[in-house]
């Protein structure tokens, strides 16, 4: 909710995205026809399905498209019945069968780069072309860190959902976990994101 009841307007360059619906068609694998925009080519092959709507968003200097369509799932046999998952700080997840998924520590690995690019941005004149270039370079590093984290979570949730019919997750006391001495890059958002990904991931 906006603070004080006033609307919050979007600012160009921050979470740029827009929503489209209407006549949308995918053809020839990696082409999609959009209302008011026309035909757009994608890097990845798209499924040949009727599309209801799309959301186009910008991250760093790249544009991404996500779309909604009807999907009918079919139940499949899982190799295992039940598994317990403990979301932690030192490890991304520890499972009841002894499997462990390590934290990728993407922020720690990219910390020097982030500091260097942040300093470069601060030294540039606000509104200048050089500052815009520096901001883009910084955004690329942030995107890389986010992508590494998302990839690790995706691999974990995919393995859990595809191989187990029931997944039991412990309730997180995030505040209590963070009171312990831990990697400063570990945040409440990361722990909750891992919990949410496992909870929401559904594979037939």
164-169 and 80-87 strand pairing: parallel
- Confidence (pLDDT) at 194: 65
The 3-class secondary structure across 61-129, one letter per residue, is CEEEEEEECCCCCCCCCCCEEEEEEEECCCEEEEECCCCEEECCCHHHHHHHHHHHHHHHHHHCCCCCH
Please name the helix (run of DSSP H) or strand (run of DSSP E) that holds residue 176, with its range, or none: helix 174-179
- Report whether pLDDT(115) > 90: yes
> Per-residue pLDDT for 80 more than 90?
no
Judged against a pLDDT cut of 70, whether residue 103 lies above it is answered with yes
Over residues 121-132, the pLDDT tens digits come to 999 999 899 999
């Amino acid at each position: 909710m906006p603070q004080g009841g006033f609307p919050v307007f979007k600012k160009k360059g921050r979470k740029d995205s827009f929503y489209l619906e209407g006549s949308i068609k995918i053809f020839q694998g990696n082409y999609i026809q959009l209302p008011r925009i026309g035909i757009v080519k994608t890097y990845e092959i798209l499924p040949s399905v009727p599309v209801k709507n799309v959301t186009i968003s910008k991250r760093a200097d790249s544009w991404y498209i996500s779309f909604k369509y009807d999907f009918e799932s079919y139940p499949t046999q899982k190799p295992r019945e039940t598994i317990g998952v403990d979301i932690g700080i030192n490890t991304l997840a520890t499972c009841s069968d002894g499997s462990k998924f390590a934290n990728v520590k993407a922020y720690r690995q990219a910390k020097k780069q982030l500091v260097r690019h942040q300093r470069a941005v601060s030294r540039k004149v606000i509104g200048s072309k050089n500052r815009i270039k520096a901001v883009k370079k910084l955004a690329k590093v942030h995107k890389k860190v986010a992508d590494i984290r998302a990839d690790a979570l995706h691999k974990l949730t995919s393995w859990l959902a595809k191989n187990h019919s029931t997944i039991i997750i412990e309730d997180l006391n995030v505040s209590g976990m963070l009171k312990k001495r831990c990697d400063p890059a570990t945040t409440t958002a990361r722990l909750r994101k891992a919990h949410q990904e496992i909870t929401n991931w559904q594979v037939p």
